[in-house]
Homo-oligomer: A and B are copies of this chain.
Amino acid sequence: MAVQTAASTTDSTVDLGPAAALSCRECGHRVPLGPVFACEECFGPLEIAYDFSSYDTEELRKRIEAGPANIWRYAPLLPVPADVAEKPNLNPGWTKLVKADHLARELGVTGGLYVKDDSGNPTHSFKDRVVAQALEAARAFGFTTLSCSSTGNLAGAVGAAAARAGFRSCVFIPHDLEQGKVVMAAIYGGDLVGIEGNYDDVNRFCSELIGDPAGEGWGFVNVNLRPYYAEGSKTLAYEICEQLGWRLPDQIVVPIASGSQLTKIDKGLQELIKLGLVEDRPYKIFGAQAEGCSPVSTAFKAGHDVVRPQKPNTIAKSLAIGNPADGPYVLDIARRTGGAVEDVTDEQVVDAIKLLARTEGIFAETAGGVTVGVTRKLIENGVLDPTKTTVVLNTGDGLKTLDAVAGTGLTATIRPNLDSFREAGLA
């Protein structure tokens, strides 16, 4: 298919596999594949429309199962060329779905509890999944620089993916970010630019840059490449179902930042049903927020359809988006599936991080503390059914948010002899 894109001055053949067009989520208006993200008719968000019509269910299942142990096993369902696995990228995904029997016992879950542990990705967060899609779109559109604004996980994911693919990267962050985060983002050798201002200033500047000739050839993974980028979250749904033996979970607990991950997980589950890869049964999607940034949870509980922005104040910084773009869609999905949106305090987040580490040996980022904490709360409140198969997402790594659990320390200090050991009651 030949389409004119903003990034190329001549017609080029854009091969993004089964991706057929961009379609407006609000009004359905379709445009050719290109580096655009908002509908020209109604300003609604554009998302990928696929052509899956040629797929035979059993052939597709076999093709997936014979595929690589990463997200590219699902290439037939993603906006990527068929030979994507041959190109240099970080090959994220196919992370562990951990049967969490000890945690289940603590929470009283009898129907099977699983943790989808995305800390196993190359840069240790789910962002590798979405950035990998944006990278393929960037390749297809002839971009040579990969960019983003970030305060954390995304900066590292973009820097690493660009390095591996041989792209230039230029990541924008607030200039006064903690030194540890700066190192994690800078190590990949791309440009790391500190902006004198807060995160809002950084974002405003990036939007300005996209509209300027200076930004030509630049793919901002979560702005002009957002429709492609967002699709990466579908792979979480695919992997969970395949790892459960091609079965839908009854309940799934997903963290909410922009809300995009939750909406794309729902999209992924719907696709699997339509393709016949899983049996069509009811499933419930639950959204999890930190109390200090809970605009969607607040709207859900109040029965509202719109989400009122909040000023974030929580240790769960990777979820601290006060005005989540996909908030209304999250409300729709939680209500349609019979799920809910709940929030927990920072103290409950820390408790949940420790609970997960103590029971299953998984050290989660604060976002994982949010989902585990919300799961516990939803069970206590009788909202989540403990007799059903439940999957909880951990989207990042505890090593990246050590500050949140800085109080954790030695259980005893002793002199190097047996008497001191016995005195401490450790024997």
Binding site for B on A (CB under 8 A): 69, 88, 90-91, 94, 96, 101-102, 120, 122-124, 156, 159-164, 166, 170, 175, 179-180, 182-184, 186-189, 191-197, 201-202, 204-205, 208-209, 212, 214, 353-354, 357-363, 397-400, 402, 405-406, 408-418, 421-422, 424, 426-427
Contact = CB atoms under 8 A, between A and B. Distances in A.
Contact of A413 (B189, B196, B208): B196
Contact of A414 (B102, B195, B359): B195
A187 B398 contact: yes
A293 to B, nearest CB: 23
B361 A161 contact: yes
Contacts of A214: 418, 421-422, 427
Nearest to A96: B91
Given A96-B91, A175-B413, A194-B414, A164 B405 contact: no
Nearest to A89: B361
A409 B90 contact: no
Contact of A208 (B204, B359, B418, B422): B418
Nearest to A180: B402
B193 A163 contact: no
A94 B69 CA distance: 10
A357 B194 contact: no
A418 to B, nearest CB: 6
Given A102-B166, A399-B397, A399-B400, A361 B159 contact: yes
A155 to B, nearest CB: 11
B402 A183 contact: yes
Contacts of A189: 354, 357-358
A208 B417 contact: yes
Q: Residue among A175, A361, A405 with the most chain B CB within 10 A?
A: A361
B88 A101 contact: yes
> How many copies of this protein are present in the complex?
2
Given A160-B363, A358-B188, A359-B163, A183 B406 contact: yes
A409 B178 CA distance: 11
Nearest to A189: B358
Contacts of A412: 191, 193-194
A182 B122 contact: no
A360 B399 CA distance: 21
A203 to B, nearest CB: 9
Contacts of A175: 410, 413
A418 B209 contact: yes
Contacts of A359: 163
B361 A122 contact: yes
B193 A416 contact: no
A129 to B, nearest CB: 15
B416 A201 contact: yes
A161 to B, nearest CB: 6
B361 A163 contact: yes
A410 B182 contact: yes
B363 A399 contact: no
A201 to B, nearest CB: 4
Contacts of A101: 88
A385 B360 CA distance: 44
A186 B408 contact: yes
A205 B417 contact: yes
Contacts of A426: 170, 191, 193
Nearest to A360: B164
5 contacts: A163-B360, A187-B357, A191-B412, A193-B410, A194-B412
